Amino acid sequence: MKYFSQKNLSMILSIAIVIVVVLIFAFSSFIKQAQADWYSTGGTWNYRKTITIDNVKVPNTDQTDFPVLVDITDSDLAANARSDGFDIFFTSSDGTTKLAHEREIYTTATGRLTTWVKVPTLSTSVDTLIYMYYGNASSGDMQDVAPIKTAVWDSNYKGVWHLGDGDSTAANFYQDSTTGNSDGTLTDGDGDVTQTDGQIGKAMNFNTGDVDFITTADTAEGASTITVSAWVKLTNNTDYHGLVSHTNGSSASDGWWLTQVVNQNNYNLSLSDADHTTSGFPSTVGNWYYLTVTFNDASNLGNAYHNGVSYVIFSSADQITESASTLKIGKEGSFYGEQPWLGGIDEVHISSSVRTEQWIQTEYNNQSATPTFYIIGTAETESVPSSGIPHVKVRGGEGTNPSVKIRGDGQTQEGGSSGFPQIASTQTSSRASNALDDSVTLPASIAAGDLIIAFHFSDGAGTRTFPSPWVEIKDAANGASNANIGIAYLIASGGETAVTVSKSITERFTAIAIRISTASWHGTTPPEVSTGATGDDTTPDPDSVTSSWGSADNLFIAAMLFDDSAGGGTVSAYPTNYSSNNVISPDVSSAGRGAIASRELAAASDDPGTFTISPTDQWWAGTVVVRPGTGGGVSGSVKFR
């Protein structure tokens, strides 16, 4: 037998050490490439979070230089950001390229942040990621560090008034966020104009119908193309009510004005002394809705949008005439009269270009439901090792324990999760007496961002209403309409314990509620449900569902309801391959009884197969699909033998 000399052994050990160090640095480079760098210009920021914008909410076309509304309440900001919010800012996905942002609201007690961020590209095909930094007590106001806040609004924006400034007749009190600085002054002779809760923060409430309005400087939007948008809430439509106008008031052909028509939901866009109506516009009195009107002189085409949907296209040979006069918010003020607004106005935006249909739809998706437009990640901190020690830098969320292991046992290191949405817990509830309102018990330990899905079963043919912010995605009856099901979801704020469901008829109920953990599902894309099937036998057969987002590590949930009028009905078998989280609601006679079962499947669609119930009964059955998260952890190993 040959033996290594001490010299040879020392050489081998030296070579092994060199190999280990080289591999550490190689893997360090890999990890660093997978993680964004940390912003360090002008100071040290202790925390950041990802904001992942759902590509599904950006229809058909990528959007460039889009002002994204970020409207959140975040306890981490309350705990760790400056009390004035000056240290909060945003970067692109590389972690270092600062984005322009304009802070509209910051409340330190709650961490409420309302801000607009200019995102260079919103993709329609893949989710867009940006970072939010905070936690620098010595920071200046980052919205004034280049690119500054006015850069949020591209050069086509000629006026942006958030209208949450307060209630004051002081000169230039209502700020224009664009570089045009067309600040507004309120005329309120009798002091009855107030601030009210708007769609985004506070809004103006022109609440009596007298001649109260805001006057701004000439916005110079030009005479060829225009887009006017605002969130509006009418108190009534029994008169003409002017929303926005740019005219001198002394000539019928000077400028333009946008006015709601008497006793109608329609609006007139008046150009060159000619009215162009949005006939049949579906707005309703008493509700906030998003109104957008565009016009293009070159094509002679105008378009009116209700809540982001193109509703009316009108053609006109009349042209926009540019007025050199002031712009008014809250009245017509034309040659034909004052026509003051009656109700709320929020977020008035004027552009000298025709915004596209896809741009307007994305605006509505963003501003109408910010919690579903993006998902906010957990707080990250920068890990900095001791000087001079070879290392791998891993940045991870709070509550995680990222690591890199170099193992000498010939094994590899597992990492990441399965990728499928995970049902963390379930809860059933019921009531055996008749009532209109049902208290559905939710699973315990609900955390912020968890997806809660409630399956509500009731006797009879009535309908139900889930309270906001719950969203109902199915309300259906079984074949004989003697029992019905409602399916609704909630993106949790954290700590919820129950939801009260109101019914149209007095009946008993049973229910199942499930909790899907925040880290495992997509975070913004709602669950989707099939049309549903009905029958009268012992084999309820859910129909197939196909997700709108395509193939992924999806969670499919088969659900069914049967009448169970006499009580004692049972479920003896669940769909093949649906072997997880099989739950049946309590047995309450004449209440309707339901059951669910789930399956993890990397596919766009699935047809579950049948349940088996006893005895023969009228039933409804369908399938729910839940989109997975955007990715698990990063892991790796160095293998030695």
pLDDT (tens digit per residue) in 595-611: 999 999 999 999 999 99
Cα–Cα distance for residue pair 149/37, rounded to 1 Å: 24
pLDDT band at 336 (very low <50, low <70, confident <90, very high): confident
Helices (H) and strands (E) in the chain, counts: 4, 41
Higher-pLDDT residue of 394, 55 = 55
Let me know whether 391 and 459 are in one domain. no
Report the candidate in 543, 526, 546 with the shortest Cα–Cα distance to residue 534.
Answer: 543
Same domain, 301 and 435: no
pLDDT, tens digit, 9 for 90 and up, residues 292-331? 989 888 888 888 898 998 877 777 777 677 778 888 998 8
Beta carbons within 8 Å of 108's beta carbon, 6+ residues apart: 78, 81, 82, 83, 84, 85
Mean pLDDT across the chain, nearest whole number? Answer: 84
Residue 260 is part of a domain; what is its CATH number? 2.60.120.200
In a shared domain, residues 338 and 457: no
Q: Is residue 527 part of a domain?
A: yes
Min mean pLDDT across 316-325, 417-426, 477-486, 567-576 is at 316-325
Q: Is residue 251 part of a domain?
A: yes
Across 90-104, 262-276, 328-342, 494-508, least confident range? 262-276
Range of the domain at 102: 47-152+371-376
- Confidence band of 6 (pLDDT split at 50, 70, 90): low
Q: Same structural domain for residues 444 and 465?
A: yes
Instruction: Give 446-465 pLDDT, tens digit per residue.
Output: 999 999 999 998 887 777 89
**Kind of pairing, strands 637-639 and 405-407?**
parallel
Q: What is the pLDDT of residue 10?
A: 54
**What is the phi/psi pair of residue 55, to 5°?**
-65, -25
How far apart, in whole angstroms, are the C-alpha atoms of residue 608 and residue 625? 11
Single-letter amino acid, residue 392:
V
Of 202, 207, 197, 204, which is closest to residue 236 (Cα–Cα)? 207
Calculate the CA dihedral of residues 299, 305, 310, 311 and round it to 10 degrees: -100
Structural contact between residues 226 and 269, judged by C-beta atoms closer than 8 angstroms: no
* Whether residues 603 and 456 fall in one domain: yes
Task: Between 244 and 222, name the one with better pLDDT.
Answer: 244
What band does 407 get if pLDDT is binned at 50, 70 and 90? very low
Question: How many structural domains does the chain have?
Answer: 4
Q: Sorting pLDDT into bands at 50, 70 and 90, what band is 273?
A: low
DSSP run (H or E) holding 455: strand 451-459
Q: Which amino acid is at 385?
A: P
Q: Are 498 and 621 part of one and the same domain?
A: yes
Q: What is the mean pLDDT of residues 434-452?
A: 92
The answer as to whether 640 is a domain residue is no
Q: What integer pLDDT is reported at residue 16 of this predicted model?
A: 55
- Is pLDDT above 90 for 65? yes
Q: Is the pLDDT of residue 541 over 70?
A: yes
- Domain annotation covers residue 637: no
> Does residue 145 lie in a domain region?
yes
Whether 2 shows a pLDDT value over 50: the answer reads: no
Which alpha helices (DSSP H) does 49-137 contain, by range?
75-80
Considering the domain architecture, whether residues 29 and 77 belong to the same structural domain is answered as no
Question: Is pLDDT of 580 > 50?
Answer: yes
Q: Is residue 241 located within the same domain as residue 204? A: yes
pTM: predicted TM-score of the whole model, two decimal places? 0.60
pLDDT at site 91: 97
pLDDT greater than 80 at residue 639:
no
Examine residue 295 and state whether it is found in any structural domain, yes or no: yes
Look at residue 13 in the predicted model and tell me its pLDDT: 55
pLDDT at 18 over 70: no
pLDDT digit string (tens) for 460-474?
777 789 999 999 999
pLDDT of 154 higher than 90: yes
Residues 198 and 277 in one domain: yes
What pLDDT band is residue 631 in, cutting at 50, 70 and 90?
A: low
Residue 465 pairs in a beta bridge with 502
The pLDDT value recorded for residue 196 is 92
pLDDT in tens, 106-126: 999 999 999 999 999 999 999
263-267, 390-394, 523-527, range with the lowest pLDDT: 390-394
* Residue 363 domain-assigned (yes or no): no
In a domain, 582, yes or no: yes
Query: Is the same domain home to 141 and 177?
Result: no
pLDDT at 577: 87
Q: Provide the pLDDT confidence category of residue 414 given band limits of 50, 70 and 90.
A: very low
Among 147-156, 315-324, 432-441, 506-515, the range scoring the smallest mean pLDDT is 315-324
- Res 490 pLDDT > 90: yes
What pLDDT is stored for residue 566 in this prediction?
78
The answer to whether 437 and 512 are in contact (CB under 8 A) is no
Same domain, 91 and 198: no
Same-domain check for residues 222 and 285: yes
